[in-house]
């Protein structure tokens, strides 16, 4: 069936379309199958394209870190503590805990005059410091915000803490939804996480990648300037932003969540793998980036062997595509 002349036409909510499928093939024979849902929206929240159920609900997990870190700017904590782009990038990160990552998180605390032992994220197994936890940048940012606002430091992870209420309120304002309607749970690092529809997650990244919210735009620039801090060398988010040459912002979350934004166009994408498989979300993200033309052929040729071919005998194949107006 022919597609509309413009791929970015508004889709109405209807019956879910078929999800994407990621096939794990061993020597060309299908061994496992992952089902995947996706949504693409603009910054007003209009659904432009989708696969499977773009309104499927899932916890945003670490994909929401840029939204959480935005309070650094909104409260004035970034200016007060003279935080540079490196510190803003690590506040949005799910990093690998290298010395470089730990140092960047430490500088948030140092500039704010906060002791590292106030971090409530645990030290990873075999590590000496909570600064090596992959969420240490976010936790350091939370402490800096609390000190700036004279909020209690010891309880910053509690859902009823003023910090967490402000994060939820900022999300409510961005999505035009009452904060009381959000369903909360506890993320692995101990802070609250929010359940959102994929279309809502995509909208967050549409705003992040546009000029619609200056504080998020600033964080987007920091993530692009220092992609190595957002994840780490060889990691999907880092490599996509490096090879995107300023056109993309990328941030994943656990349990099969991957979000991307098309910078300066105000278009966001959110992906959810039903069974939470990390390998499947990367394969689908590349498949959809290729469909949308958001990466150059050279970038695709670099990324696909790394994230779709797992070994000489194993590769990932994606079946399906984004649909326009809910139709094929």
> φ and ψ at 161, to 5 degrees?
-65, 145
Which of 273, 274, 283, 290 lies closest to 310 in space, CA to CA? 283
Predicted pLDDT at 321: 82
Contacts of 178 (CB under 8 A, 6+ apart): 172
- pLDDT band of residue 17 (cuts 50, 70, 90) is confident
Q: For 242-298, how does the pLDDT look when each residue is reduced to its tens digit (9 = 90+)?
A: 999 999 999 999 999 999 999 999 999 999 999 999 999 999 999 999 999 999 999
HEC readout, the chain: CCCCCCCCCCCCCCCCCCCEEEEEEECCEEEEEEEEEEEEEECCCCEEEEECCCCCEEECHHHHHHHHHHHHHHCCHHHHCCCCHHHHHHHCCCCCCCHHHHHHHHHHHHHHCCCHHHCCCCCCCCCCCHHHCCCHHHHHHHHHHHHHHCCCCCCCCCCCCHHHHHHHHHHHHHHCCCHHHCEEEECCCCCEEEEEEHHHHHHHHHHHCCCCCHHHHHHHHHHHHCHHHHCCCCCHHHHHHHHHCCCEEEEEECCCEEEEEECCCCEEEEEEECCCCHHHHHHHHHHHHHHHCCCCHHHHHHHHHHHCEEECCEEEEEECCCEECCEC
Q: Residue 212 pLDDT > 90, yes or no?
A: no
Average pLDDT over all residues of the chain: 93
- pLDDT band of residue 322 (cuts 50, 70, 90) is confident
Q: For 95-125, how does the pLDDT look when each residue is reduced to its tens digit (9 = 90+)?
A: 999 999 999 999 999 999 999 999 999 999 9
Looking at the chain, the whole-number percentage of residues with pLDDT higher than 70 is 94
CA distance 70 to 305: 35
Q: For 126-170, how does the pLDDT look when each residue is reduced to its tens digit (9 = 90+)?
A: 999 999 999 999 999 999 999 999 999 999 999 999 999 999 999
- pLDDT band of residue 16 (cuts 50, 70, 90) is low
Task: Give the CA diameter of the chain.
Answer: 61
Which of 129, 44, 143 lies closest to 87 in space, CA to CA? 143
Answer yes or no: pTM beyond 0.85: yes
Q: For 38-80, how does the pLDDT look when each residue is reduced to its tens digit (9 = 90+)?
A: 999 999 999 999 999 999 999 999 999 999 999 999 999 999 9
């Amino acid at each position: 069936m022919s597609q509309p002349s413009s791929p970015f036409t508004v889709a109405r909510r209807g019956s879910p379309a078929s999800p994407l499928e990621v096939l794990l093939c061993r020597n060309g024979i299908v061994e496992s199958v992952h089902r995947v849902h996706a949504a693409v929206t603009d910054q007003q929240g209009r659904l432009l394209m989708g696969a499977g159920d773009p309104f499927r609900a899932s916890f945003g997990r670490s994909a929401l870190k840029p939204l959480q870190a935005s309070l650094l700017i909104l409260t004035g904590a970034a200016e007060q503590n003279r935080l540079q782009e490196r510190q803003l990038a690590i506040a949005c990160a799910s990093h690998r805990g290298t010395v470089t990552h730990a140092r960047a998180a430490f500088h948030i605390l140092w500039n704010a005059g906060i002791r590292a032992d106030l971090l409530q994220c645990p030290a990873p197994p075999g590590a000496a410091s909570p600064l090596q936890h992959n969420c240490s940048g976010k936790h350091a940012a939370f402490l800096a915000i609390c000190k700036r606002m004279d909020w209690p430091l010891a309880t910053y992870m509690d859902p009823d803490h003023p910090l967490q209420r402000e994060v939820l309120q900022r999300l409510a304002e961005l999505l035009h939804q009452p904060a009381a309607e959000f369903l909360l749970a506890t993320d692995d690092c101990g802070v609250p996480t929010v359940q959102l529809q994929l279309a809502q997650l995509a909208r967050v990244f549409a705003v992040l990648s546009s000029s619609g919210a200056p504080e998020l735009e600033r964080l987007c620039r920091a993530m692009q300037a220092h992609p190595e801090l957002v994840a780490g060398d060889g990691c999907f988010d880092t490599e996509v932003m490096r090879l995107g040459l300023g056109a993309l912002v990328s941030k994943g979350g656990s349990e099969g969540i991957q979000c991307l934004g098309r910078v300066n166009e105000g278009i966001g994408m959110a992906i959810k793998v039903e069974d939470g498989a990390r390998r499947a979300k990367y394969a689908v993200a590349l498949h959809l980036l290729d469909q949308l033309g958001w990466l150059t052929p050279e970038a695709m040729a670099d990324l696909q062997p790394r994230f779709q071919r797992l070994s000489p005998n194993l590769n990932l194949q994606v079946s399906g595509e984004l649909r326009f107006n809910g139709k094929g």
